[in-house]
Amino acid sequence: MKKQPQSDWSRRALLKGLGLGGLSLAGILGLPIEEQVACATQGVSRASQPSQLRITDLRVAVITGAPMRVPLIRIDTNQGICGYGEVRDGASKRYALMLKSRLLGENPCDVERIFKAIRQFGYHGRQGGGVSGVEMALWDLAGKAYGVPVYRMLGGKYRDRVRLYADTPSVRDKDRFAEKLKERMKMGFSFLKMDLGINLIRNVPGALSRPPVADGERYRTTMHPFTRIQLTDKGIAMLAEYVAQVRKEVGNEIPLAADHFGQVDVNSCIRLGKALEPYQMAWLEDMVPWQYTEMLKEITSAINVPTLTGEDIYCLSGFKELIDQRAVDMIQPDLATAGGILETKRIGDYAQERGVPMAMHFAGSPISFLANVHCAAATENVVALEHHGVDVPWWEDLVTGVEKPLNQKGLVRVPETPGLGVELNLEVVKQHLARGEECFGPTDEWNSRDSNDRLWS
C-alpha cells in the first residue's frame, strides 16, 4: 500500500476529529468564512450563537411568602433563551427595572463588563438587590448560550454538594425551641442556626436595662450604640439558658450559630459572648452593625467565640476593611446584595487569602439559591449556605428541570445542566404573586435611558 504523506494524514485526522471526515480540507476552505467557523466548531456544545446574543427585555414577577417577598426577574434575548435572577428579598423590583435601559442591546455573555457598568446603581442592604439580581440572570444566560453550568464558567468546582445550614426563628418556650432545632437535625441538617436575642426576654422584669422610650424614638431604626440597651446579669443568664437547652437536645458536636441579638451595646455583647463560651457556638452573627469595624474587632478580640458579619455589605470593597483588620472571624455575604455570583466569589477568594472562612447568607427563592450553589461550588473557603425556606412547603415547586429535592438531608447537589440549571414553574409563581403584581408583564416604560452614567469628568 502506498504510504500517505504525513501532512495528508494530519489533515484527515483533523477532519475526522471534527466529525467532518466526509469533507476534504479544500472543500471546507472553499466555504464562506461563517460556514468554515461553523464547521470547525461543530463538535462544540452550544445552545445558541453566543457572539450574536443580545438582550431584548427585562421583566419581573414579585412573589410573596417564600418565606419573604422576592422580585424574580427574567431577561429575554433575540435567540429565544432567557435568564433568571432575583432581587434580594424585601427589596424593590425597581432596583432591577431601572437597569433595563442599560442592558437592552448588550451581549449578556459579557457579564463582568456589564456588571462594572451597572455597579454604580447598587449600594449596601437591599439597594444591592437590583445589580446582583441582574448579574445572576446574565450568568444564567451565558451558561445557557454556551451549554455549560455557571460554576464551570467561574473556574470549576471544589465540591459536588454544598452544605446547607437551617435558620431557626426564636420560640419563647425553651423546650419547644430546642425541639425545633432537633427537628432540623432529624431532617438531615448538619449545621444549625438559632435566633437568640433580647426579644426573648424583653418582657421579663430585670433582664434588660434601658432608658424609657421617649416620644418619637424608634427602636427598630436605632443602631446599637444609640439605644443604650444593656443586658443585665439576669438577662445574660436567661439567654445562655436557651443555648444550654438547645445543646442538651442536639448535643455539642453539631455546629450551632446564633443571630439577632438585638440592639445592645458592645459591653453587653462581650459579656454575653463570654457567657456562651461553654456552648461551642459556630459563630455569633451581627452583634453590632457591620459599619463599626473597631467595635466588631473589640468584641472579636474579647471573646473566644467566632464572630461574623456581612449580609448587608455591597461588593468586595465593602468587605476589605473588615477582613484586613480581622475585625470578625468569618464573613457572610448575601449574594443578592453583595453584587452577584462573581463578586461573591471574589469576596470569598480575598477572604481566603487572609485566612477568613465564608458562610453564605440567603433568604430568597430557589433562583437565588441556585446562584448561591454555583458560587459556593466554585469558591474554596465556603463553609455552608443558609436555607431559609425549610418551612415553606411549595418552595422547591417554584422551579423545574433540576434533581429534586434540592435539599437532600442538608446538602444540595451542584447542577450539571446549563446556566443556573433550573426553569421557573410559572403555575406556582402565579399562585404566589404578591398583591397587584403581574407575572412577567410588559415593562416598556423602563426602556429609555435619560441619564449620563459617567462617574468622572
Footprint on this chain of Mg ion (rule: CB under 5 A): 259, 285
Of residues 109 and 356, the one with the C-beta less far from Mg ion: 356
CA angle 11, 14, 16 (to 5 degrees): 110
Of residues 149 and 318, the one with the C-beta less far from Mg ion: 318
Preceding peptide of 418 cis, ω within 30°: no
State how far the Cα of 25 lies from the Cα of 419, in Å rounded to an integer: 35
Radius of gyration of the chain from Cα atoms? Answer: 26
Q: Where are the alpha helices (DSSP H) in 251-395?
A: 266-275, 293-302, 315-324, 335-338, 341-353, 366-378
State how far the Cα of 197 lies from the Cα of 23, in Å rounded to an integer: 73
DSSP-assigned states of every residue in 161-208? EEEEEEEE---SSHHHHHHHHHHHHHTT-SSEEEE-SGGGTTTSTTSE
User: If you ran DSSP here, which 8-state letter would residue 66 be given?
Assistant: S
Residue 207 CB, nearest approach to Mg ion (Å)? 22
Q: Which residue is nearest to Mg ion (CB)?
A: 259
Among 405, 340, 325, 409, residue whose Cα is nearest residue 374: 340
Of residues 144 and 388, the one with the C-beta less far from Mg ion: 388
Residue where the block lists cell 477568613? 356
Of residues 60 and 287, the one with the C-beta less far from Mg ion: 287
Residue 293 CB, nearest approach to Mg ion (Å)? 18
Residue 285 CB, nearest approach to Mg ion (Å)? 5
Of residues 259 and 396, the one with the C-beta less far from Mg ion: 259
Residue 393 CB, nearest approach to Mg ion (Å)? 24
Type of residue at 50: P
Q: % helix / strand / coil in the chain, to the nearest 5?
A: 40, 15, 40
Residue 425 CB, nearest approach to Mg ion (Å)? 29
DSSP-assigned states of every residue in 78-101? TTS-EEEEEPPTTS-THHHHTTHH
Of residues 108 and 273, the one with the C-beta less far from Mg ion: 273
DSSP-assigned states of every residue in 421-432? S-EE-HHHHHHT
State how far the Cα of 234 lies from the Cα of 261, in Å rounded to an integer: 15
Of residues 286 and 343, the one with the C-beta less far from Mg ion: 286
Of residues 258 and 373, the one with the C-beta less far from Mg ion: 258
Residue 196 CB, nearest approach to Mg ion (Å)? 11
State how far the Cα of 142 lies from the Cα of 6, in Å rounded to an integer: 40
State how far the Cα of 165 lies from the Cα of 256, in Å rounded to an integer: 9
Of residues 391 and 453, the one with the C-beta less far from Mg ion: 391
State how far the Cα of 255 lies from the Cα of 192, in Å rounded to an integer: 6
Residue 180 CB, nearest approach to Mg ion (Å)? 18
Q: What are the φ/ψ torsions at residue 92 (nearest 5 degrees)? A: -85, 140
Residue 390 CB, nearest approach to Mg ion (Å)? 16
Of residues 285 and 329, the one with the C-beta less far from Mg ion: 285
Residue 290 CB, nearest approach to Mg ion (Å)? 11
State how far the Cα of 309 lies from the Cα of 330, in Å rounded to an integer: 7
Residue 369 CB, nearest approach to Mg ion (Å)? 17
Between 111-118 and 341-353, two packed helices, what is the crossing angle to 10 degrees? 90
Of residues 219 and 394, the one with the C-beta less far from Mg ion: 219
Residue 42 CB, nearest approach to Mg ion (Å)? 50
